[in-house]
Structure 1
Amino acid sequence: METLLTNLTISLTDFKKNPSKVLSEAGPRPVAVLNHNKAAFYMVEPKLFEALTELAEDLAMTPLLKKRLAKRDQAIEVDIDTL
C-alpha cells in the first residue's frame, strides 16, 4: 500500500478537465493526482514549492556546516570596527 502525503486527491482524468479549478479549490494544501489509484504527482502552490526547495537546499548544506563547525578552534577572531 502506498502512503499519500496529503488528504486531498483527484484522478488524473478529472485533473486534466480543469487544473486551475483544482488549484483554486485546494488553496495552500497539496493535492495528490492519482493515476490507476497511485500518486502520479503532487500539485502544490508556488509558495509551498519555494518553501520546500529552500528546505532541501538547507538540508544539502548541513554536512558542510557541520564540517566547518568542527573546525571552530582554527577560527581567527576579527573586529569589524578595525577593518
Structure 2
Amino acid sequence: MMVEPLLAGASISISDFKKNPSAAIAAAEGFPIAILNRNKPSAYLVPATAWAELVDRLEDADLAAIVRARADETPVAATLDEL
C-alpha cells in the first residue's frame, strides 16, 4: 500500500465535485481543494485569487534569481538618451 500526500487542507471525491463544483469551491473558502479519484489525489483546484498570488510569487522569485545572477556584474554608466 502506498500513501499519497495530500497537499491541500480540503478534499472531495471527483463524483461529488462533478455534482456541484460551485458548492465545493465555496466550501473551501479560498483554499485549494484536492480532487480525489479512488481516494487518491488526481488534481488540485486552486481558486483564482490563490492562483494569482502564486503566479506573483513565482515572478518575484524569478526576478530575485536574475538580481542574484547579476549582482557581481560591473555597472555601466548610461544616460536615458543612450538607452
**Structure 1 spans left out of the alignment, 5+ residues:** none
Match of 1:69 in 2: 71
C-alpha displacement of 1:62 = 3.7
Q: 2:15 aligns with which of 13, 16, 19?
A: 13
1:4 is displaced (CA, Å) by 1.0
Cα-Cα RMSD = 2.1
Q: CA deviation at 1:51?
A: 0.8
Q: What's the CA shift string for 1:26-83, capped at 9, x where partnerless?
A: 1111110101111111112111001111222222334322111121xx1146799xxx
Residue 47 (structure 1) aligns with: 49
**Distance across 2 between alignment mates of 1:10 and 1:57:** 30
Structure 2 residue runs of 5 or longer lacking an equivalent are none
TM-score, length of structure 1 as denominator length = 0.78
Number of residue pairs matched? 78
Instruction: Report sequence identity in percent.
Output: 32
